[in-house]
């Protein structure tokens, strides 16, 4: 079965943010036919979307999976729901947010799935996290702050 390298962005700005990220990392590692390859450092970022809300804790992980992009996205959304995420308002605060950022070299634009994620260009923290993970996967150590 073909395995693809995918990148998932994790974010939380409600409750014990670090615990939510740790829980999501564990759940992603439990997905069938999926292996976590590397995890970026956690960084605190300002919320997007202009709403008044607490800062986020963000992190990205690289994984290798035999899941399809749709199955991986569905698993991410299920993990969000398990942790209490309710989608009501765009850009609203959330216990957990998981975004499928890249899925191999896949380029896709359709309802419900755009690859690579269009937010990469606007989110400097995603760019830093991707660079950190790509470096780690190429054999360069992830440096602690």
State yes or no: is 87 an active-site residue. no
Distance (Å) of CA 32 to CA 64, 66, 80, 93: 11, 8, 17, 29
State yes or no: is 57 an active-site residue. no
Catalytic residue among 17, 27, 57, 85: 85
β-strands 97-103, 4-12: how paired? antiparallel
Catalytic residue among 17, 57, 97, 123: 97
Catalytic residue among 17, 57, 83, 94: 94
State yes or no: is 26 an active-site residue. no
Cis status of the peptide bond prior to 116, with omega within 30 of 0:
yes
State yes or no: is 16 an active-site residue. no
For the CA atoms of the chain, what is the radius of gyration?
14
Q: Which residues are catalytic?
A: 85, 94, 97, 99
């Amino acid at each position: 079965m073909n395995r693809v390298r995918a990148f998932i962005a994790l974010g939380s700005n409600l409750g014990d943010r670090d615990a939510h990220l740790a829980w999501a990392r564990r759940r992603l590692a439990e997905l069938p036919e999926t292996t976590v390859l590397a995890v970026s450092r956690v960084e605190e970022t300002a919320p997007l979307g202009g709403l008044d809300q607490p800062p986020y804790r963000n992190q990205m992980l690289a994984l290798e999976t035999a899941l399809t992009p749709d199955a991986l996205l569905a698993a991410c959304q299920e993990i969000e729901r398990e942790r209490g995420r309710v989608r009501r308002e765009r850009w609203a605060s959330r216990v957990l947010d998981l975004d499928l950022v890249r899925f191999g070299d896949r380029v896709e634009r359709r309802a419900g799935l755009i690859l690579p994620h269009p937010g990469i260009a606007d989110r400097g923290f995603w760019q830093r996290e991707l660079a950190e993970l790509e470096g780690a996967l190429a054999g360069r150590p992830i440096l602690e702050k």
